[in-house]
Structure 1
Amino acid sequence: MEEEAMVVEVREYREERDREAVEEVERECEVGSTTCGGDGGGAKMSLFTDLLGDPLCRIRNSPAYLMLVAETATSGNGGSSSREIIGLVRGCVKTVVSGTVQGKDPIYTKVAYVLGLRVSPRYRRKGVGKKLVGRMEEWFRQNGAEYSYMATEQDNEASVRLFTGRCGYSKFRTPSLLVHPVFRHALRPSRSAAIVELERREAELLYRWHFAAVEFFPADIDAVLSNVLSLGTFLALPAAIKWDGVEAFMDSPPDSWAVVSVWNCKDAFRLEVRGATRLMRAAAGATRLVDRAAPWLRIPSIPNLFAPFGLYFLYGLAGAGPAAPRLVRALCRLAAQHGTRRRLRRGRHRGVRPVRDGVPHWVRLGAEDLWCIKRLADGYTHGSLGDWTKAPPGRSIFVDPREF
């Protein structure tokens, strides 16, 4: 009987040579399933992601990025050999805020982000995932990153076990993923809120002013806001407030305000809800039938989430004052006008309760994320912050839409 020896090589992704094989691994792994709430009968619904033909779409907008693949080289006694891509991982490096000096001046730190780790089901529990992460961390260190972090769903036990148990990461932050469908009929805009679309320069000034002390705020926010996928930044104010420009706003902000930016994900990947009961599907379909028969009623019919759909990601969500929840709702209604049927809008948010309370969302479609972090080199000095992995959580974090 001929014996075979399997050797796993980790190397850089090559577009022309590897694309088809990488897409096959993505399909085998279902490209990431996010578990949603139950339907009352014990069943679970899940959001499944389908990348649209570009394995680098989630990292190519970052300042520095890399994709690695794990490839087997199997040889037999007869001299025959075969090669197969069995895993992949993506990573990027950037500079973000990690803390402040005396609560004011931001401390910027070079960090790395691990995402899109996939291992073919046939080769799991063989050390492939750990080997991919280890090689990616080598590249992170070469590019000067002091910390590496990753995000997963809190109930993804296999991923959490790999990173915290075998790769040396620590549980760090727990942002919430809020999801809301865009209905066929957009909700009427609020008459009690005035919404201003900010120019890119104005948005950058406002963000650097407000997020200067917020963890993970990117130093290159100007590149984020000027990206073609960023559809605009919108500031909501009470209707009675006069807009005199961003400088006047920052000098004397009103009692209540809210801001958000919109990022276009619909051409990068599609999602689909699976696991819903027949009764749930039928009820959702009935609302659409009624809506088509009597559109003047403006019934918020439930989109067909059970077929592939795109989404918009709301980022930079912030606000202040007693009217902040109402102003946030006005911004979310405006964001819905960018969407059409079968699209979703999402926001990742953590901490600031009044702002979160204003975000319309379906609990059934949401998820709780877990961010894990690792210090890559003990010899680094990190300003006056010390070890960021041991820092207590702040009131909020900034989620970079380039990594969504």
Structure 2
Amino acid sequence: MYAAMVVREYDAKRDGRAVEEVEKRCNVGPTGKLSLYTDLLGDPVCRVRHSPASLMLVAELVKDKYEREIIGMIRGCIKTVNCGSNVSRNGKNCPNLPLPHYTKLAYILGLRVSPSHRRTGVGLKLVQKMEKWFVENGAEYSYMATENDNVPSLNLFTGKCGYTKFRTPSILVQPVYAHRVRVTNKATITKLSPAAAEALYRRRFSATEFFPRDIDAILSNKLCLGTFLARAGSSWGVVSVWNCKEVFTLEVRGASRVRRALAGATRAVDRAMPWLRLPSVPEVFRPFGLHFLFGLGGEGPQAVRCVMALCGMAHNLARECGCGVVATEVARGEPLRLGIPHWESLSCAKDIWCIKRLGGEGDHHNHTLPDPDWTKSPPGMSIFVDPRDF
């Protein structure tokens, strides 16, 4: 028996090892089935510390003065993003571009509860405590993302915490082959400076749903490997690359010896005969890193070709950095996804984003427009996925 459960702020010195143990227990998948293990490289708060405001909480059982046990944790951050608008502005150089409406948005990730303490209300208390911090810091909305088949998570957030299903983007994953992929010479690729990239994003994408107002901080972050612009005639495409390898690694567990041997055979053939351009399975059965592509966009009749060229360039960059996969996340209706190479077996066709209105005051209240409820708005063609949330 224990006296009480306490939800408190994470202390790196006291809690680091215990939190790591909970992460390991929560990352164990069903016996005999493939599961994805995430290793945060010894820093449990690394996935939120790059945000303007972030917090990590732990749930601790206090049995007596000397015996304590961490049984759960949660991470959260707050940022200012665009929540969409139908309003247009007129100007000499940017006619009829939508006017962004910013709001304070909170994001929940990394909710973990030790398997032996699930269905006891620990997860609910962690979420409620985190939401209290969100409200105290002026967040108007809170959202979270989970896999389509994660029924316990969906039941917790939609059934008990008042969230509603909001968007269903797709996570597209391409393996990194042993050989370089060919990049078409019909598109010219240029690396932009952080200042030039910021100007382009603010001009063209600031009214895209979830666009972060602190895009400059993202583009100048040491994890951002650069922003690249491709041109083909009057068409263009753009993408930025985020180095997740420095934040966490992934590992596929539960594969049979036969499956591992077949994957190894594809790599051996690929290395031996790279001119055949055969697709190969990277070494995903031990820790591997990934690069995340964000800020994907473009215009013109050859925009898809430009995006395809940028993805080829990103693949070769990931290969040089020793990554196992390249990933991106796009709206289900994103027209440029036709230019994104990916393997269906590694991708997630329907990621679930759930949202809740907390009642804070977003920046759009400063406008003379009626107060919109973002949770009831229809999805647009595109979304801007913040790499700090991935």
**Same fold? TM cut 0.5:** yes
> What's the offset of the Cα at 1:101?
4.8
Which stretches in structure 1 are left out of the alignment for 5+ residues? 36-42, 242-253
Determine which of 187, 191, 198 is the counterpart of 1:197. 191
- Tell me which protein shows more strand as a share of its residues: 1
CA RMSD, 1 decimal:
2.1
Count of residues paired in the alignment: 373
Secondary structure of the residue aligned to 1:331 is helix
Q: Deviations over 1:68-97 (max 9, x none)?
A: 11111124xxxx752111110011111000
Which deviates further from its counterpart, 97-106 or 374-383? 374-383
Determine which of 240, 243, 253 is the counterpart of 1:264. 243
Looking at structure 2, the residues matched to 198 and 380 of structure 1 have their Cα atoms a distance apart, in angstroms, of 32
Alignment of 1:53-92 (within 5 A): 53-75=42-64, 82-92=67-77
Contact 2:237–2:306 (8 Å) recurs in 1: yes
Looking at structure 2, the residues matched to 217 and 342 of structure 1 have their Cα atoms a distance apart, in angstroms, of 27
Contact 2:168–2:332 (8 Å) recurs in 1: no
Looking at structure 1, the residues matched to 281 and 51 of structure 2 have their Cα atoms a distance apart, in angstroms, of 35
Change (3 A) 1:191 1:156: same
Determine which of 93, 112, 135 is the counterpart of 2:106. 112
Alignment of 1:132-143 (within 5 A): 132-143=126-137
Contact 2:250–2:289 (8 Å) recurs in 1: yes
> What's the offset of the Cα at 1:386?
1.6
Does structure 1 residue 219 correspond to structure 2 residue 213? yes
Alignment of 1:170-189 (within 5 A): 170-189=164-183
Change (3 A) 1:60 1:48: same
Determine which of 313, 321, 327 is the counterpart of 2:306. 327
Secondary structure of the residue aligned to 1:144 is coil
Q: Deviations over 1:93-143 (max 9, x none)?
A: 110000225242111001111110001111111111110111111111111
> What's the offset of the Cα at 1:279?
3.9
Per the normalisation by structure 2, the TM-score is: 0.90
Determine which of 4, 7, 14 is the counterpart of 2:4. 7
Looking at structure 2, the residues matched to 17 and 167 of structure 1 have their Cα atoms a distance apart, in angstroms, of 30
Contact 1:304–1:342 (8 Å) recurs in 2: no
Alignment of 1:246-261 (within 5 A): 254=234, 256-261=235-240
Which stretches in structure 2 are left out of the alignment for 5+ residues? 89-97
Secondary structure of the residue aligned to 1:338 is helix
Determine which of 275, 282, 285 is the counterpart of 2:261. 282
The aligned residue for residue 351 of structure 2 is 369
The aligned residue for residue 23 of structure 1 is 20
The amino acid that maps onto 2:242 is W
Contact 1:266–1:310 (8 Å) recurs in 2: yes
Which deviates further from its counterpart, 343-352 or 104-113? 343-352
Per the normalisation by structure 1, the TM-score is: 0.87
Secondary structure of the residue aligned to 2:318 is coil
Q: Deviations over 1:299-344 (max 9, x none)?
A: 4433112221100000001122332222111101111122235521
The aligned residue for residue 79 of structure 2 is 94
The amino acid that maps onto 1:96 is V
Q: Deviations over 1:147-174 (max 9, x none)?
A: 1111111110000000000111111111
